[in-house]
Homo-oligomer: A and B are copies of this chain.
Amino acid sequence: MIKEKGFVRTILVENPSLSDNTADAQRLEQALKKDLDADHVRIPLKILKSLPSKLRSWNFKAKAVLFKDLSSWILVDLLEPVIKKAVLGTAIDIGTTRIVIALVDLETGKDIGETGFDNPQAAIGPDVLARIHYSNRENGVFELNRLVIDAVNLNLSVLCEKHGCKKEDIYLVTCAGNTAMTHLFLGIESFWIIKEPYIPCVNIPDTQPAGNLNLRINENGVVFLFPNIGSYFGGDLIAGILFSALDEKHEPCLMVDVGTNAEIVVGNNDFLIACAGAAGPALEGGMSKMGMTAKPGVIDKVWIDPDTGDLKSHTIDGKKPVGICGSGMIDLAASLFLSGRIDIRGKLSSHACGKALFKKDGIMYFVLVDKAGSDTGESICLSQADLDSLTSSKAAMYTILEVIVKNTAGLEFEDLEKFYVAGTFGSFINPVSAISIGMLPDIPVNTFEVLGNSSLGGAKELLKNPDAFERIMNIRQSITYIELNVNQEFMNMFSGAKFYPHTDRARFPSLDNKI
């Protein structure tokens, strides 16, 4: 919902008189400045052209669509005071893998609908590195930019049509993405992001007319891109902090966004400390590559049958199983560990697993679903290699959390009032399972809260609340970004975390009555 006053406001302009011959534009500006408590409001030439006759035909009352840039408020458009059409905004999460678009009613703050689609730049390269290398070719930036902009325009058309909306009624667009995706969305040089000393072209892109970016919305519409802190700390994470409201909390909270990388922020209204997991090579790609993408038939939950001790599983849409996704893998590892099927080193135990184990090419496999129960014609298994990879990932996650919360912020995990889990992958993790394997710290389960797509959430928040603009700039300004220093101390901590749940068993008291 719109908090207090949003970006669409009904404005009363003082009537002109012989005793006050101030021009129409300046009287409009005065009314806007008063309403916004602002120093400057820019009125574009396009609006000036017909301002006098419009104001007179509307009896000096109008609906103003407003937005901000770094130096000023902007009058985006001026509409008749009572309009029947909607005034819309669009929030975009520009993910490296997937792009999500949401439509919002700017007057009511209500969500209208959203749609997601694969980032078409994947055709050029699956990851940031490949795309940025490509961007350095002649016309590379242009091609990459064209791909994403065309896809957004197309999907926005489809989304509008689905909800009976018009693209011309979209006035504001807010976009959050990592630094590379944001650069390519703007069509600006991105090459230096990946070259030492890793300098982005821009940290704080200014609000742009939609036409500058070839976004087909209202011709007066404007586009805001969340600022970044550096090449490895993007606007998506700033949007996430905004969405989680970490910057407004009294008690320290933590947010972890597990997307293509794992990014972690801890703090409150007093301090914000962040680190991005890409810097920790142990974690790189690890979390998100675990398991397959969620789709019908994928096992997303695994548990131990309390009566038989057998492993049970649930698939998306209840279809016959075709594979395991990340959250299913964590559940499975937790179940294997709690039932003694893997040891504290994360190794499959032939004794405990019995017939569920087989060996192929020297690698052990645990059969979760046999050939007959599977939809693929093959049994659905977890290999020791998969498990080792999961062990590495969970240990890296725990170590990074430990580094940032304990070593950097000087807190204990128990001090965290909230532990927000953002990102697609994070949305489905069962915290109890993640604690059981020592991936997440052993704090009360109700401390954990799933945020979903926090990048999109932050972009939507800005559409609904003008105050968010200042918060975004303050978050960017006040955050301390920690380069993860993978030194001997880190490696020692990492080694301890590779055990189940940890070499220091006392850290996980909630497991006491489970094992």
* Residue of A17, A192, A202, A208 contacting most chain B CB atoms (<10 Å): A202
Give Cα A213 to B213, complex, Å.
21
Give Cα A70 to B196, complex, Å.
39
**Is the pair B202, A48 in contact by a Cβ cutoff of 8 Å?**
yes
Interface string of A173-193 (1 = CB under 8 A from B): 000000000000011110110
* Selected contact of A187 from candidates B16, B22, B49, B197, CB within 8 Å: B49
Within 8 A of B (CB), among A431-471: none
* Residue of A17, A49, A51, A186 contacting most chain B CB atoms (<10 Å): A49
Judge whether A231 is part of the interface by a CB distance below 8 angstroms: yes
What residues of chain A have their CB less than 8 Å away from a CB belonging to chain B?
Answer: 16-18, 21-26, 39-40, 42-43, 45, 48-53, 56, 69-72, 141, 186-189, 191-192, 196-206, 208, 212-213, 228, 230-231
Given A50-B189, A51-B201, A52-B191, 14 new contacts (CB under 8 A): A16-B199, A18-B197, A21-B199, A21-B200, A23-B203, A23-B230, A26-B203, A40-B71, A42-B71, A43-B206, A53-B191, A70-B72, A71-B72, A72-B72
Give Cα A21 to B191, complex, Å.
14
The smallest C-beta distance from A226 to any residue of chain B, in angstroms, reads 14
Give Cα A33 to B383, complex, Å.
59
For residue A186, which residues in chain B have a CB less than 8 angstroms away from its CB?
Answer: 45, 48
Give Cα A213 to B201, complex, Å.
30
**Is the pair A45, B188 in contact by a Cβ cutoff of 8 Å?**
yes
For residue A40, which residues in chain B have a CB less than 8 angstroms away from its CB?
Answer: 70-71
* Residue of A26, A71, A212, A228 contacting most chain B CB atoms (<10 Å): A71
For residue A141, which residues in chain B have a CB less than 8 angstroms away from its CB?
Answer: 49
* Residue of A18, A39, A48 contacting most chain B CB atoms (<10 Å): A48
Q: A189-B51, A191-B52, A192-B24 are in contact. Are A45 and B199 (CB under 8 A)?
A: no
Give Cα A197 to B16, complex, Å.
7
The smallest C-beta distance from A480 to any residue of chain B, in angstroms, reads 13
* Selected contact of A201 from candidates B21, B48, B188, B189, CB within 8 Å: B48
Give Cα A230 to B43, complex, Å.
18
A-B pairs, top 3 by smallest CB distance, nearest first, are A71-B72, A40-B71, A25-B202
**Is the pair A23, B199 in contact by a Cβ cutoff of 8 Å?**
yes
**Is the pair B188, A21 in contact by a Cβ cutoff of 8 Å?**
no
The smallest C-beta distance from A225 to any residue of chain B, in angstroms, reads 11
Which applies to chain A's interface (DSSP): helix, strand, loop or mixed? loop
For residue A22, which residues in chain B have a CB less than 8 angstroms away from its CB?
Answer: 199, 203
Give Cα A192 to B55, complex, Å.
12
The smallest C-beta distance from A140 to any residue of chain B, in angstroms, reads 12
For residue A45, which residues in chain B have a CB less than 8 angstroms away from its CB?
Answer: 186-188, 206, 208, 212-213
Give Cα A40 to B213, complex, Å.
23
For residue A23, which residues in chain B have a CB less than 8 angstroms away from its CB?
Answer: 199-204, 228, 230
The smallest C-beta distance from A497 to any residue of chain B, in angstroms, reads 28
The smallest C-beta distance from A484 to any residue of chain B, in angstroms, reads 14
Give Cα A37 to B23, complex, Å.
31
Give Cα A202 to B30, complex, Å.
12
The smallest C-beta distance from A237 to any residue of chain B, in angstroms, reads 15
Question: Which B residue sits closest to A69, measured CB to CB?
Answer: B42
Identify 12 residue pairs between A and B in the complex whose beta-carbon atoms are under 8 Å apart, listed by A's number.
A16-B197, A21-B197, A21-B199, A21-B200, A21-B230, A21-B231, A23-B201, A26-B204, A40-B70, A48-B205, A52-B201, A71-B71
Give Cα A429 to B16, complex, Å.
40
For residue A17, which residues in chain B have a CB less than 8 angstroms away from its CB?
Answer: 197
Give Cα A187 to B16, complex, Å.
22
**Is the pair A24, B202 in contact by a Cβ cutoff of 8 Å?**
yes
Give Cα A443 to B40, complex, Å.
46
**Is the pair B197, A52 in contact by a Cβ cutoff of 8 Å?**
no
**Is the pair A24, B201 in contact by a Cβ cutoff of 8 Å?**
yes
For residue A205, which residues in chain B have a CB less than 8 angstroms away from its CB?
Answer: 48
